[in-house]
Amino acid sequence: MSTELVPISKNLTTEIPYSILSKLPEMPEEAQREFIDIYQSNRKSTVLGYIFHLFAYGSSYGYLNRWGMQILYWLTFGGLGIWWFIRLFTLPSSIKKHNKSKAENIFKDIILKWGASFRRKEKVGSLSQKITNLKPRPLKISFDPSNLSIKNLKKGYLIDFDLKTWEVKNEYQIDWLKKTSSKELVIINDLKELILNIEISDQNKLIAVLSRKSIHQIDSTIENQILKLHTPPVKITFEGKTYYKESENKGIIFNISNNTSPPTLVNSILYFDDSREYIFRIDIANQDKCLGYAGRLYLKESFSEILPK
């Protein structure tokens, strides 16, 4: 993997946005050269722009592939000369804007072809090593053996929900960077598995009941969009329901049931439908894997008969 920027002419370094130039060294040398070659073949020259404007019937818009504007320019005879005169001063900025847009689109295509932010994965690996020795945040949960609450659930406990008795298979804790925490419990009944997400807050009275889903059921390209372009969709459709992006939170997942499992970095994207009763969640684990969950919110009163096994 290259850690240096391949040689670029001074003219190109002034044209290519800094946001792209700063990321090019993170790419393999072949990817950098591919980006530069494609950009050079698509960029427009200010000198040629003026030549088209002055000596080719004012066809500078056509030079930039803006043929709708070019036809309008011709039909009005260059705004009876006024538009022609103004174009002398606006042409450089138009070409700069065109080149910037081309550079950004080409860069996105290269990212999709070669993979997501190459050095970013190294940084994630380094960060993962740093959190290995972290411990879960202490939770203040009251415990009354004669009146157990859903927050007291642990691995092996039993709970009644939806007219069935479920057993807690695994217990996780998510410590969010916003200084809050939640418990996530995997519960099973025969071959069926659900996930309970419980916010550790006195004010929270709702429990999210989720089941695992493949995000490819939403869109075959959504994983690339999230992992490589880092732009999660603001709206998704799943099983006939439309969900809208509500929040995006980063945190660390701890496997409470297995202390030997290393913590996992997670970026959780939450979507609600119009009723705000049904939810879809996309978790990005260690920034290289997308997991999907669909479900709905229930009142705490929907759960009963909590018993240690």
Nearest Cα to Cα of residue 161 among 128, 122, 121, 189: 189
Q: Which residue has 């990212």 as its token pair?
A: 111
Q: Are 111 and 229 in contact (CB under 8 A)?
A: yes
pLDDT at residue 2 in the model: 41
- Strand, helix or coil at 2? coil
Nearest Cα to Cα of residue 255 among 174, 153, 309: 174
Q: What is the DSSP string of 195-247?
A: EEEEE--TT--EEEEEEEE-GGGT-TTHHHHHHTS----SEEEETTEEEEEEE
Phi-psi region of 154 (alpha: psi -120 to 50; beta: other; left: phi over 0): beta
Prediction pTM value: 0.60
pLDDT at residue 3 in the model: 45
Dihedral sign (CA 142, 146, 149, 152): positive
Q: Are 169 and 187 in contact (CB under 8 A)?
A: yes
Check residue 63 and report its DSSP letter: H
Q: CA–CA separation, 139 vs 135, rounded Å? A: 12
* Planar angle of CA 105, 107, 113, nearest 5 degrees: 105
Q: Are 70 and 84 in contact (CB under 8 A)?
A: no
Q: CA–CA separation, 150 vs 305, rounded Å? A: 10
pLDDT tens for the chain, 309 residues: list them: 444 566 777 778 788 888 788 777 777 778 888 888 999 899 999 999 999 999 999 999 999 999 999 999 999 998 899 999 999 999 999 999 999 988 888 887 787 666 544 545 445 555 555 677 788 888 888 888 888 889 999 999 999 999 999 999 999 999 988 788 999 999 999 999 999 999 987 677 889 999 999 998 998 888 888 887 778 889 999 999 999 999 999 889 999 998 888 888 889 999 999 999 999 999 998 777 899 999 999 999 999 999 987
The full set of domain ranges for the chain reads: 10-114, 150-307
Check residue 7 and report its DSSP letter: P
Q: What is the DSSP string of 128-166?
A: HHHHTT--PPP------TTS--GGG--TT-EEEETTEEE
Q: CA–CA separation, 185 vs 171, rounded Å? A: 5
pLDDT at residue 170 in the model: 96
